[in-house]
Amino acid sequence: MKRLPIMFALFASLLVAGCGGIQREPRDAYMPDMAYSRAYETYADHSDLRDSGISYNSMPVPGTVSRSQDMIFHIPKDVLGDTANYIASRAVQNPLTFLTGMELQEAERLYLVQCAICHGTDLKGGGPLFASGKFTARPIGFLGDAKYEAMPDGQMFYSVTYGKNQMGPYGAQLNTKQRWMVIYYIKQQQAKGKSGNTDSSSAATKPTAGKDTVGAAQK
């Protein structure tokens, strides 16, 4: 028990000695990789590379595209009275050629949140805002109107991005990918609508098939 104060004094003096002076550099680094990064980090000091004659400017390789820019739309908005860019946008393809089930669900959700109030949940143009009489410009129908069924994805994208007459632009509400997703959804519904007609005709033939099977069962 007598040793306790001595040990305490020893410990305290070690503690005090450890606090002396400002030590910026580690002394003996027994794991130097932890003290000095071997990877060439973007904002690290690379003077050692330059000193040894290696060119390094911390910049990405020319032509590098950031992840958020990979679906960028290069067509600018037409100046008032001009339609050249609007027409040129017809040639732009939807970069999304396939959506997974979950992405499609998300595309439908975005459509229902941002567009259905005017264009309708059934895509026929009579959404609740227009039906209420508060919005007087008639929103177009994506289904049942040959002009919009034939409208290329790129031109839809142009109008959704920059607006069209009474329809405002949606570039601020939906990012580039989301806008393409919504257009993918519209196009898919249009294709479904068309095959839906053949579906209904095949549905019309179904009862016959049903009868046949009934008939077969009766035979």
| Interacting residue ranges for ligand HEC, rule: CB under 6 A | 114-115, 117-119, 129, 135, 137, 139-140, 155-156, 159-160, 164-167, 170, 174, 182
Q: How far is the CB of 168 from ligand HEC (least distance, A)?
A: 7
Token duo for residue 67:
């992840």
Smallest distance from ligand HEC to CB 156, Å: 4
The whole-angstrom separation of Cα 120 and Cα 109 is 13
174-183 burial by CB neighbour count: b if 16+ within 10 A, else e? bebebbbbbb
CB of 115 to ligand HEC, least distance (A): 3
Nearer Cβ to ligand HEC (49/140) = 140
- Closer residue to ligand HEC (CB): 60 or 133: 133
Cβ nearer to ligand HEC, comparing 29 with 131: 131
Q: How far is the CB of 41 from ligand HEC (least distance, A)?
A: 41
93-117: string of b/e by CB count within 10 Å (b at 16+)?
ebebeebeeeeeebbbebbeebbbb
Instruction: Give the separation between CA 155 and CA 178, rounded to whole angstroms.
Output: 16
CB of 130 to ligand HEC, least distance (A): 7
| Cα gap 172→166, rounded to integer Å | 17
CB closer to ligand HEC, 192 vs 206: 192
In sequence order, the 6+-apart residues with CB closer than 8 A to the CB of 4 are: none
CB of residue 169 to ligand HEC, shortest distance in Å: 10
Q: Which is nearer to ligand HEC, 32 or 128 (CB)?
A: 128
For residues 119 and 125, is the Cβ–Cβ distance under 8 A?
Answer: yes
Query: Looking at beta carbons only, is 52 or 83 nearer to ligand HEC?
Result: 83
**Are 86 and 158 contacting, i.e. CB atoms less than 8 angstroms apart?**
yes
